[in-house]
Amino acid sequence: MTELNEPTDLIPAGRIPVTIEEEMRSSYLAYAMSVIVSRALPDVRDGLKPVHRRILYAMRESGFTADKPYRKSARAVGDVMGKYHPHGDSSIYDAMVRMAQSWSMRVKLIDGQGNFGSVDGDSPAAMRYTEARLARAASYLLDDIDRDTVDFQPNYDESETEPTVLPASYPNLLVNGASGIAVGMATNIPTHNPTEVIDATLAMIANPEISLEELMQIIPGPDFPTGGIIMGRSGIRKAFETGRGSVPVRARAEIEEIRKDRQAIVVTEIPYQVNKATLQEKIADLVRSKEIEGISDIRDESDRSGMRIVIELKRDATPEVVLNQLYRFTQLQTSFSVNMLALDEGKPRTMGIMDVLQAFIRFREDVILRRARYDLNKVRDRGHLLVGLVIAVANIDEVIALIRAAPDAATARAELMARQWNADEVIPLLELIQDEGNVIIDGKVRLTEAQARGILELRLQRLTGLEREKIQGELDEVATKIGELLKIIASHVRRMEVMREELLAARAEIATPRLSEISDALGDQSDESLIEPGQMVVTITRDGFIKRTPLDMFRSQNRGGRGRTAAGRRGDDIIMQSFNAHTHQWVLFFSSGGKAYRMKVWHLPEASPTAKGRALVNLLPELGSDSITAVLPLPQDEDLWEDLHLVFATASGHVRRNRLNDFKNIRASGLIAMKLDEGDSLIGVATCQAGQDVFLATKNARCVRFQITDDILRVFAGRGSSGVRGIRLAPGDAVISLCILNHVEATVEERAAYLRMANAKRRAENAALAAQDASDETVNEEENLPSDDEDGEENLEFVGDLTQERFEELEAQEEILLTVTDGGFGRRSSAYDYRVSGRGGKGITNMTFSANRRGKEVIGTLPTLPGTDVMLITDTGRLIRLPVAQIRVMSRQASGVTLFRLNDKETAISVFPVMEDEGEEGDALDENPSSEEAVSNTPSSPADTSGHEQSNT
């Protein structure tokens, strides 16, 4: 027995050992390159994959051209499969069907007859039932293929040859696009308008240095066969520049009134490659799962005239919101991911639109050059024969005698070639056609074998005078043609002219109007468009929980009612801040650390009045251990921000003014808003304009009012300062309210006279309220504190009446302030009762506390508008909403009337205004003061452009 000393002894002779890793690597790479080059990726030159190229070429070879009758699709598929594409007939037929579908191809390459599927995803009929032929546009891809314009390669069994590329006359890759998945790579090229693509190619020929911006003036973007609306241009530019990008495409939909009180969304175009039937099923599923509400019916009314999907809405649905929800949750809006990967010189390459056009122009120039060389050879061959005929006609007698004397054709041919013929007339022609076959000796010419054969085959009728002229004329045409071809071969400029002429001819045949509209709107749909517009009550608790609740859940009650439960509390958590705002408003949040954050109201968690909400730290991760101390709803119209300023107020009485635009761009991590001293906190931020007044109120019932001017309160350039003193506080006192009032020029006498006349008018109009106030033991509204010059008290002496015109002028500008205590009492006072003083003083009295009433601190002072409501909240979570019209206007030193009947040990902690939409009629007030359910009105934005915002702590 022979011992095996080495493993190689097991290897048969002539075999080379290979590791399995090397074999797998080489085999897989070979497979991958085969898929990439021979199956999945289109060629940048003709825009076709091998299967599509083979289908078009086979149909041309079989004569299934646009000028011939339709032929069975099975016959074309059989030719392709038998000669060029050794794969299943289903893959060939599917590729052929796609080239015949108007919703798949921007320019159809196959003219089909029969059922070739539908945009609903229906399968085409079997190939034995359908018929097809080449479309006219396909001829511009195949023309001149038999004139040596492209290379050919053997087919799979080397019994035939097939073209490696078609000599396309226009950039088919951009016109019809392509999609495919190879090994480790994929391509997804959108379709474009053929007219625009050809015009862009012409522009690049005219100016090879054309910029992308100039090119995009010609091709603004893709043009899909199903139409639709392309949202935005940034994705298009990125795709055109780099070859990669995302293009948002939205269906074309209109809102129509189909019958009385019923509206419907009608879709007439859908995004590219979206299945219409699947789209409708998805909408139905969303309606059934209640993810989209407001849809009552959906039906497809599409016919031969066009697409029409009718989505019928319920009576109470908002069409715009439903449509935006459909855009968001269905394929009525999709993003076409552009990946312009194609084979360039046999290698996969991602190209921008300029690269694609440049590659096509290079290829097309090479086609024209090869065609010119091929034609030149053919024309020269013809000219060579014509020269022989001309020589024969010129020497006809000798030629005939020689032929008659020859015993056979071979001898005659040899003698014709051996003799030198007199050819003075053809020597210039020989030089013109650059014929190098004939030998000229002493002005005489020897015939070539081809010329001798042509003379022997010459028919006698060609010897007539007319035929001799035709031969001479054809020779002249050949000479002219040769001259033109030589120019094409020698001149790049001339080749570009030829290319331009052929592009214009192709454009005349395949030009179509643009189908897809390009909108300058942003492609990325904001979630805001999905939110029903409405007014919300936003509440923030001491422990940092926030929520929004629809305002109409809080119905108005009469003054002195019991209110209703506002929020579920965790432990002893209480509501610290409340305001009402529109769902689409921006809200600024200011933290105890002096940073500002920004968020839309709709982004806040929606919850019922009894829910506790969501922790702010989850919404503002950068908040950390800080707490939100001030909140400011901003005007919805951002154009108003340009002229607005922000006024900051702290508990210690400091104020600062900044431009609102300083806070327009706030990062998610927040923005430093104000520097705060240790122990101080931000109690309020309000928008204002120069010339208005700042009003500060303290918890110990002091207040100050000063005008916003550059001398009194300048605009701070930075955000890192602590501001200037607004009011000088007594020990234990703190600022609790910041208001912005309109400045009215009036003397002390005018204000006193107006107050006396206005109060008399109000007493006459509000007799019913006066009777109710008496039952509540209202403190005498004329009760005043002793005069204190140091505190800046102002005693208004009543003087004579104002003129009616001046009274009406002051009345039109009057603002009413509501002051509320922690005991649930409050009263309204005219802003004229608060004089305008300098900044930094101790201020004047804001309210008198009665000894026999609960509450010893003011919780808020805020402006109120006629016809609106205010909302009060207690530390136990109860709240009440009541009309301000039920609160009398009194002197600023009156202790007020009962607004909220509190339980034992219960305290009012917050008050804020509720604005109402103009033109909306509210329901009647509840007759029962203690009812927890009352009337609601539709609210409007709380951020008035005059600056009437407030934040309470």
The candidate with the shortest Cα–Cα distance to 192, out of 38, 360, 363, is 360
Query: May I ask the CATH class of domain 252-331?
Result: alpha beta
Tokens of 26: 């080489």
Q: Show Cβ contacts of residue 893 under 8 Å, excluding neighbours closer than 6 positions.
A: 783, 784, 785, 845, 847, 848
In angstroms, the CA 22 to CA 16 distance is 13
The sign of the dihedral angle between the CA atoms of 381, 383, 386, 390 is negative
DSSP 420: E
Burial-class residue 471 by CB neighbours within 10 Å (0-12, 13-18, 19+). buried
Strand ordering across the sheet containing 252-259: 252-259, 262-269, 309-313, 295-300
| Cα 735–chain centre separation | 47
| Cα 588–chain centre separation | 26
Quick one: pLDDT at residue 793?
A: 55
Q: Show Cβ contacts of residue 105 under 8 Å, excluding neighbours closer than 6 positions.
A: 98, 99, 176, 191, 225
| Active site residues per annotation | 129
CA distances from 705 to 491, 694, 722 (A): 87, 6, 20
In angstroms, the CA 464 to CA 441 distance is 29
The helices-and-strands tally (H runs, E runs) of the chain is: 22, 44
Tokens of 692: 């208005």
Quick one: pLDDT at residue 722?
A: 78
Strand ordering across the sheet containing 897-898: 858-864, 816-821, 825-830, 897-898
Sequence ranges of the domains in the chain? 23-194, 252-331, 362-501, 531-634+644-667+681-914
Q: What is the pLDDT of residues 186-210, one digit of tens each?
A: 899 999 999 999 999 999 999 999 9
Q: What is the pLDDT of residues 708-747, one digit of tens each?
A: 998 888 888 777 777 899 999 999 899 999 999 999 888 8
Quick one: pLDDT at residue 952?
A: 38
How many residues in the chain?
A: 953
Tokens of 887: 């609160």
From the options 3.40.50.10490, 3.30.70.1070, 1.10.268.10, 3.40.50.720, give the CATH code of 362-501. 1.10.268.10
Residue type, 731: P
Q: Show Cβ contacts of residue 927 under 8 Å, excluding neighbours closer than 6 positions.
A: 558
In SS3 terms, 640-679 reads as HHHHCEEEEEECCCEEEEEEHHHHCCCCCCCEECCCCCCC
From the options 3.30.2310.20, 3.40.50.720, 1.10.10.10, 3.90.199.10, give the CATH code of 23-194. 3.90.199.10
Quick one: pLDDT at residue 177?
A: 94
The candidate with the shortest Cα–Cα distance to 815, out of 836, 843, 839, is 836
Q: Which is it for strands 341-344 and 671-672: parallel, antiparallel or unpaired? A: unpaired
Q: Show Cβ contacts of residue 785 under 8 Å, excluding neighbours closer than 6 positions.
A: 793, 845, 848, 893
The candidate with the shortest Cα–Cα distance to 634, out of 687, 676, 564, is 687
Strand ordering across the sheet containing 844-845: 735-741, 693-698, 702-707, 844-845
Quick one: pLDDT at residue 886?
A: 86
Low-confidence ranges of the chain (pLDDT < 50): 1-5, 523-525, 567-569, 777-792, 798, 916-953
Q: Note every long-range contact of 95-100, with CB atoms under 8 Å and residues 24 or more positions apart, other chains counting.
A: 95/49, 95/51, 95/52, 95/55, 96/55, 96/132, 97/124, 99/52, 99/55, 100/132
DSSP line for 585-597: -EEEEEETTSEEE
Q: How many CB atoms lie within 10 A of CB 241?
A: 14
| pTM, full prediction | 0.61
In SS3 terms, 170-231 reads as CCHHHHHCEEEECCCCEEEECCCCHHHHHHHHHHHHHCCCCCHHHHHHHCCCCCCCCCCEEE
Please check whether the domain covering 531-634+644-667+681-914 is classified as CATH 2.60.40.2240.
no
Q: Show Cβ contacts of residue 292 under 8 Å, excluding neighbours closer than 6 positions.
A: 283, 286, 322, 325, 326, 329
Quick one: pLDDT at residue 918?
A: 36
Q: Do domains 252-331 and 362-501 have the same CATH topology?
A: no
